[in-house]
Chain A
Amino acid sequence: DIQMTQSPSTLSASVGDRVTITCRASQSISSWLAWYQQKPGKAPKLLIYKASSLESGVPSRFSGSGSGTEFTLTISSLQPDDFATYYCQQYSGYSRTFGPGTKVD
């Protein structure tokens, strides 16, 4: 199985900050990676797919990059609504593994 790691596990930031979250795969997954945002008590929300494609309706301050084994999610200017937990998910292998999550507080 392909394993996913994320760093940091927790990130303290302020409104207006540029925030970067890193996701790494245990082997190359090309660009088969998605990013999700989850708030307490809510289902996850798709932000980015195919590593860098912005889901319809998602603010342009969110962007994704990377390929192979290293990926990043960037929030260009953190807004109050962005305090949440972020997960990456690979869908290259047999399994669709999630990363352990990064909490932005």
Chain B
Amino acid sequence: QLVQSGAEVKKPGATAIISCKGSRYTFSDYYIHWVRQAPGKGLEWVGLIDPEDGVPLFAENFQGRVTITADTSTETTYMELSSLRSDDTALYYCATAYRLGSCSGGTCGLDFWGQGTLVTVSS
């Protein structure tokens, strides 16, 4: 189960920090991905983190603006998006990808998803 933090309203240029807490699974057995969806639009991959070593990977579109961290003590992952613009208004999801055995590298897709966090950027 993944539970995300609540909706946020931010002004342009501000920073949004969203959390995603995992439960009922072994935290380090899964990569955590972040995916966003603008209103009425498709899915856009933001990035991922390997909770075991804390190494993140980001989509090119977000390089320099996004930070993803994982706190193994609380089994919580954080996504921080800075220099917010109006086109960052979206529903942000976290999702897990199993990384062991035949799913090494997270090759078995995004199997569990959080409920989504709406970030609204408006002046």
Contacts and interface: CB of A to CB of B under 8 A. Distances in A.
Interface string B36-72: 0000001111001000000001011000000000000
Given A49-B109, A50-B108, A98 B42 contact: yes
Nearest to A34: B109
B111 A50 contact: no
Given A43-B93, A43-B115, A95-B59, A100 B42 contact: yes
Given A49-B107, A91-B107, A96-B48, A44 B42 contact: no
A34 B44 contact: no
Interface residues of A, number: 25
Interface in B72-123: 93, 95, 106-111, 113-116
A32 B42 contact: no
A46 B111 contact: yes
B68 to A, nearest CB: 13
A73 B42 CA distance: 18
Interface string B13-55: 0000000000000000000010100000011110010000000
Interface string A48-89: 111001010000000000000000000000000000000101
Interface residues of B, number: 22
A6 B113 CA distance: 23
A100 B42 CA distance: 6
Contact of B110 (A1, A44, A97, A100): A44
Given A95-B59, A98-B44, A43 B107 contact: no
Interface of B: 33, 35, 42-45, 48, 57, 59-60, 93, 95, 106-111, 113-116
Interface of A: 1, 32, 34, 36, 38, 43-46, 48-50, 53, 55, 87, 89, 91, 94-101
